[in-house]
Amino acid sequence: MLLITQTGFKSTTWKTAFPDIELHTDDGIPGNLQQHQTIWIVSQISNWQDRVTQLSNSGKSVIVLTRKPSTEEFKLAFQSGAKGYVDALANPQILQTVYKSVKAGGLWIPENLINQMINLIATKIEHKNIPDLHQLTAAEKLVAEKISLGESNKEVAEELKVCERTIKSHLTSIYQKLNLRDRMHLMLYMQGKIT
């Protein structure tokens, strides 16, 4: 795994998440790319979009790191061929999760952007039915309602004064009981957009 960044980038979190990561500064793409399948690029380096395009066109999985997440930069990253977009200051566990998701062939989109997309989609779909929540516990119903409003796991956990792991556990149970695939499916189901 390779990280291309600007001079002075603090790599403490990175060394915790990926002890063997190879760091390169933005003075060009290193010549030993063949040994790296996943490349992380900080969006503050010069010509980062061109570099993402070049690397993704050569078959590499590229993840863009940003110090200032924005919808516009997210669009530019994915238009350039990136497979992930994440805050450069994310904790080691999140960075590892992003890596595993992209390595498995998935995409990584920040939770707040997913919530924005879901809310936009939900407003475009005609209202159909009332969700059947009789199988859920009281806590699961509360979590499902808060998620349907576009709240993040962290926000729900803080409101309910529980840890994020508890919210994730509730969501897993909710998905199973309601036969739903993921967060987007739950939000649409809760808003009565799908059955």
| CATH code at position 104 | 3.40.50.2300
Structure-model confidence comparison of residues 193 and 186, the more confident one: 186
Q: Please check whether residues 26 and 102 belong to one and the same domain.
A: yes
Condensed to tens digits (0 to 9), the pLDDT of residues 97-134 reads 989 989 888 888 888 788 777 777 766 665 567 888 99
Looking at 83, 109, 135, the residue that finishes a domain is 109
Contact status, residue 11 vs residue 23, Cβ threshold 8 Å: yes
Distance separating alpha carbons of residues 175 and 165, to the nearest angstrom = 15
Q: Please check whether residues 151 and 59 belong to one and the same domain.
A: no
195 lies in some domain? no
- Give the CATH number for residue 119: 1.10.10.10
Condensed to tens digits (0 to 9), the pLDDT of residues 141-187 reads 999 999 888 888 999 999 999 999 999 999 999 999 999 988 889 98
Q: How confident is the model at residue 180, as a pLDDT?
A: 92
Q: What is the mean pLDDT of residues 134-141?
A: 93
Q: How confident is the model at residue 158, as a pLDDT?
A: 93
Distance separating alpha carbons of residues 18 and 38, to the nearest angstrom = 12
